[in-house]
Chain A
Amino acid sequence: MANIAQLQAFAAQNAFDMTAPMDHEQVVSFANLWLPAIRFYEQERFHPILFRDLIEMVEAGFAELPEAARAQWRVGRRTNVAGVGVSRTFDPPVVCVPDGLVTTSPSGPLLPAHQVLNDGSAAADALGHAEVGASASLSHGPSFERSNRFFGAVETLAGGNEAAPADPFVPRAQDAGGAPRINVHASWKNLLDLLEFELKVDAAPSYPPSALRGFDVAGLLWTPVTQPPQAHPAATFRNALLALIASHKEGNLDESLVNAVPGWRFNWKVWRELTRFAFLEFSLLYAYNDFDRYQTTPFENEHEGDDEGFCLVFERAQIELALASADPQLITKVAPHSIITSVHEEWQDADQLRRFDVPWVPPASNPDAIPSDAMALTVYVAGGSHATYLTPGQHDLVDFGDTWGMVGDGLLVVVLAGPILVIALLVSILDHFIDTEDFTSDDGIHTGPDTRIEGDPQGVPCALSVVPLSGDRHIYQPEFTRLLSELSFPGKLGGTSGLFSKSSAMSPKTARYFRKLLRAL
Chain B
Amino acid sequence: MTLRFLLWLPLLNASLDAPSRSSPVEAALVQSLEDGIGTAKLGDWVTYEMDGGPNRSAYWRLAVVEEQRDALDRDACWLELEMGTDGNMVAPLFRMRALVARDAGFNGVGITRLIVAYGADSAHELAADAVRQLMTQSGHPPSLPARTSPSTQGPVIRKGEPNRILTAMGTIIATPVEVIDRKVVLKRIWVSEEVPVLHLAKLEIPSIGQSMEVHRYGHDAKAQLPIPARDQPQIRAEPLQRAANPVP
State whether these chains interact: no
